[in-house]
Amino acid sequence: GDSDDNGKQKFTMKNTQGSDELDYEVYVENSSTALVSGGEVLYLSAGENINHAELTFVMQTVGGAEYAGEYKGTVTFTASVEDDN
């Protein structure tokens, strides 16, 4: 996605006709800070194989309007394995 005026990742979704776009923010668990591109969503310590994270998607329509229709967007996750030594 693009960045907003503050350099923060801007998540958007478009309606299926492609004519309208709405911004949204993503929050992990009970965080009051929106997720940014490259931010940590889930962490597993060595020896763990199960964990979970609840994501909340909040539409940002300040200065805009919500239009009825079907909207689609994509959230992509990247996993990495790091050596703690």
Give the predicted TM-score (pTM) of the model. Answer: 0.65
pLDDT digits (tens, 9 = 90+) for 45-78: 878 888 888 988 888 766 555 667 777 777 777 8
- Residue 7 is predicted with a pLDDT of 53
Name the band, by pLDDT with cuts 50, 70 and 90, for residue 4.
low
**C-alpha separations of 71 from 23, 26, 31, 40, 66 in Å:** 11, 16, 25, 26, 11
- Residue 12 is predicted with a pLDDT of 80
Name the band, by pLDDT with cuts 50, 70 and 90, for residue 81.
confident
∠ at Cα 74 (71, 77), nearest 5°?
Answer: 160
- Residue 70 is predicted with a pLDDT of 74
